[in-house]
A and B are shown apart, each in its own frame.
Chain A
Amino acid sequence: MTIPYPAPQPGPWTAAAMIAAVVLSSTAGEVLTAAAMKSIGDLDEIRAHSGMKGAIRAVVTCPLFFAGVSFLAVAFFALLLALNHLNLSLVAPASASLTLVTNAIAGKFFLKENVDRRRWISAVLVCIGVYFLAH
């Protein structure tokens, strides 16, 4: 069943839930993918030693990579659904800026990355900048 076009704008809670679904699933996907790529090693070096096939094999044989891609696929369809009901000028900046903050937190606690003051300031500046771009 399809709803008549143009669709009515969803309420603020529904819009927030749609954006939260994109943010949470893409954060999980990006953290798992980053962990997979760190466990594989530098792709440029692998390609220099084993060629492009070797680099592709190294990526597609990593289980963490598939877990990450599964979450990114969920995030993609959540984004398609959100774009179907909400404006791009709301969805893209809101999900991009919130994902930056959730990724900084996840990077610190799950990936043990050195999220120093410089990276926090950068994440906050980009976050505010994306907010202004949306207006």
Chain B
Amino acid sequence: MAHPKLSARQYMILGVVSVSAPLGDTCLSRGMTSLPAISLAHPLTLIAAVFTPWIALGIALLIGFFASYLTALSWADLTFVLPATAFGNMIVVLLSRFWLHETISYQRWLGAVLITVGVGFVANGPSLTERPAPAAELEPAAAVREEQAR
């Protein structure tokens, strides 16, 4: 089941992982900063926070992230999926600049370029570590070779 090159659908799943995680985190931050500070002595207040609108929206986005993330992990290595999906940070910078008209410093552009180069590095490599096939899968091939030898 090795996939040296990803299909368009698999790239789309990695795109969903990239976009839904930063959007979900932003919603969580928006929700948590609007709440009073929560003490570790009363952890139940953290559970109550889950039912506030921004945090609920953040959780919905993170559920979408998790479903696509699990799918990606079923056909690619963890050390491939994580850097590849860091491209979401770049998307956030572009949205901030061109949609929210925020001023982006040179340092942030440099950060975005480094992430893009890093993603390009890993995305051009193999997505899955190739492992030797189990003996059960090798047996039919061995049988064919024996047949040919005879």
Interface of B is mostly: helix
How big is chain B's contact interface, by range?
Answer: 35 or more
Cβ of A126 within 8 Å of any chain B Cβ, yes or no, is yes
For A6, the chain B residues whose CB sits under 8 A away are 37
Question: In chain A between 97 and 135, which residues have their CB closer than 8 angstroms to a CB of chain B?
Answer: 99-100, 103-104, 107-108, 111-116, 118-119, 121-126, 128-135
> Quick one: closest B residue to A65, CB to CB?
B70
A122 touching B25, Cβ below 8 Å: no
What's the Cα separation between A64 and B130 when bound, in Å?
Answer: 22
A43 touching B86, Cβ below 8 Å: no
B28 touching A31, Cβ below 8 Å: no
A119 touching B25, Cβ below 8 Å: no
B39 touching A3, Cβ below 8 Å: yes
A116 to B: closest C-beta gap in Å: 7
For B118, the chain A residues whose CB sits under 8 A away are 121-126, 129
Interface on A for B, CB 8 Å cutoff? Answer: 1-7, 30-31, 33-34, 37-38, 40-45, 59, 76-77, 79-81, 83-85, 88, 92-93, 96, 99-100, 103-104, 107-108, 111-116, 118-119, 121-126, 128-135
